[in-house]
Amino acid sequence: MAKVLVTGANKGIGYGISKYLGLSGWQIIVGARSRERAEKAVEQLRSEGAEVVGWQYINLSDNESLKQSAEEVRKKYPDLRLLVNNAGIPGDMEAASYESELADVMATIQVNYIGTFCLTKLLIPLLAANQGRIVNITVPSEVSPYWHPMAYVASKAAQNAMTGIMAMEFRRNNIPVEIFDIHPGATTTDLNNHYTGPGAHSVDVVASKAADIINDGQSHQGAFIELYPIVDEGR
């Protein structure tokens, strides 16, 4: 059975994607920073019928620790076929761009882009050996008049650029890895203080759709797949 590492799998969209991929036959590796939260997620996923083979410490704010994490993944799960880059932090979503604190912008870009790039880069050789895939959970790069927290959007725009350029270079250099983006749209999680207004969908709705795309048997190399658009939330 194929194995998938989902970062930030202990809650929110990451948990939901783990659940629906697990129910569809994937063996789940829960990526998380906290042992307590990871072990609780493993227990809950198993109780819902997903097959979980373990959990992996993943700390996207610490590039050095990611080297050790990737090495552990290579040793424990040499048949890894899929990496879902889901983990991220919101940054200060209420601050105006010109009032954003530099420390907050740097921390958000570190986790959502630099750390994600670091983990992805480290696991590409393993994924290539298994003709695997990389799926990034993201938002559009374009600025929306309805929702535009600068640090978060900037970090995801960088991640989207990573996706497009890697996809092009994988093709050009005959590297057997597929990479693409999924934009879930507004989803009710703690990242947005459990927003339930216009345009919002539950974790189960977006996670099941994301799992369906991952399992559809089609090539999505370099694609940006939008499940739900950003809409006016009335804020």
pLDDT tens digits for 135-191?
999 999 999 888 889 999 999 999 999 999 999 999 999 999 999 999 998 776 666
Strands 80-85 and 3-7 come out as parallel
Element (H, E) at 47: helix 35-47
pTM of structure: 0.94
pLDDT band for position 121 (50/70/90)? very high
Compute CA distances 50 → 27, 41, 168, 214, whole Å: 8, 11, 34, 16
Is the distance from CB of 186 to CB of 144 less than 8 angstroms? no
Residue 224 confidence (pLDDT): 97
Q: Where is average pLDDT lowest: 84-88, 161-165, 196-200, 215-219?
A: 196-200
Any residues with CB less than 8 A from the CB of 99 and at least 6 apart, and which?
A: none
The alpha-carbon radius of gyration of the chain (Å, integer) is: 17
Mean pLDDT, the chain, rounded, equals 94
